Amino acid sequence: MGKLQSRRDFLKVAAAGSLGAVLVSQTACNSAANKVVAPVPPVADPKSFGVCLQMYTVRDAMEKDAVLALTQISKIGYKYLELANYEDGKFYGFTPKEFKKIVNDLGMEIPSSHTQVEAKGITLENAQKMADDHAELGVEYCVQPWINAEDRTLDKYRKMVADWNQVGEIMKGNGIKFGYHNHNFEFKNHDGIVPYYDIFLKEMDPELITMELDFFWAVKAGQDPVEIINKYPGRFELFHMKDQYTTEEPFFEPASVDMAPVGAGNIDFKRILDVKDVAGMKYLIVEQDCSFTDIKTSIYNLTTNILA
């Protein structure tokens, strides 16, 4: 793997937390949208459905008061969390043990964490530190969530995948599976080569790396998640769920887009979930930019209609 000057060069705090500033307009994240709200009275205990929340969705609230935000997430009914803030061995400023206790005491668990590994590569020492910290937290998955625009070339994709296979081997030694979360740019055709299919799925070791399939971004790239899953069974242990209000022509550069709460748009989630066993799905994860109101709507729609 490539050499690195410091941990901050490859583990960017909240790399997942900062990436959205690049790809999605923050105008939707106004103060009113992020106010703490009362939970929706559920038809059944929403925690019994085992829905996970990607914490990038509530990044502003977590920065302001993490314990208050986590308390509200639990009241709304999320059972699992996928984190989006790791730096210098800490999660949201807490040690792994401290953060795990806070979450567990609120009746939730942490199966997954987004953690950036840069294209230039990482050292084995730093990869082991990352694995050790996440093992102490008790996660099952550690996921690469983003690739910077300047690194989206075929040669750099191949180098990153080779590095990620090594990271996956280290993670496996700590009982963790590495993962990759897609956007739309991976589906862009480069002179007959589509990186998602011809490099990522082809060259990633499925024993070491799973795919976190983001339905929204796949659809925006003109892809059918059901076709992807049927063509590559068992490769998608994590589902990322957000909806769209409008159907657009395929595009391949992240931009301000019409993200909608799950079940509030036109993506047919029931059709996709019909092939969850083919995919090998273990967790379905709600991600929405970026309010408590939206995550309430998502879990309500999931637990009263889509999963009911």
Mean pLDDT of 134-155: 96
Look at residue 118 in the predicted model and tell me its pLDDT. Answer: 63
Mean pLDDT of 202-206: 98
How far, in Å, CA of 108 to CA of 66, rounded?
14
Question: What φ, ψ does residue 26 adopt, rounded to 5°?
Answer: -90, 5
Residue 233 has a CB neighbour count (10 Å cut-off) of: 12
**pLDDT tens readout for residues 229-253:** 999 999 999 999 999 999 999 999 9
Residue percentage of the chain with pLDDT more than 70: 84
For residue 179, what are the β-bridge partners?
143, 210
Give tens-digit pLDDT for 248-302: 999 999 886 789 999 999 999 999 999 999 999 999 999 987 789 999 999 999 9
Q: What is the pLDDT of residues 12-50, one digit of tens each?
A: 323 333 333 333 333 344 433 444 444 555 457 999 999
Mean pLDDT computed over every residue of the chain: 87
Lowest average pLDDT, out of 13-22, 65-74, 110-119, 297-306, goes to 13-22
Span 132-141, pLDDT tens digits: 999 999 999 9
The percent of residues above 90 in pLDDT, for the chain, comes to 77
Q: What is the pLDDT of residues 157-176, one digit of tens each?
A: 999 999 999 999 999 999 99
Q: Is the pLDDT of residue 5 over 80?
A: no
Angstrom distances, CA of residue 207 to CA of 36, 165, 236: 41, 9, 12
> What average pLDDT does this structure show over 111-136?
86
Domains observed in the chain: 7-28+48-306 (3.20.20.150)
Cβ pair 24, 259 in contact under 8 A: yes
> What helix, strand, coil percent values describe the chain, rounded to 5?
45, 15, 40
Host H or E run for residue 165? helix 154-173
* Position 221 confidence tier, pLDDT thresholds 50, 70, 90: very high
Compute CA distances 97 → 94, 104, 178, whole Å: 8, 10, 21
CA 22 – CA 41 distance, rounded (Å): 35
Containing 60, the helix (H) or strand (E) segment is helix 59-64
290 upstream amide cis, omega within 30 of 0: yes
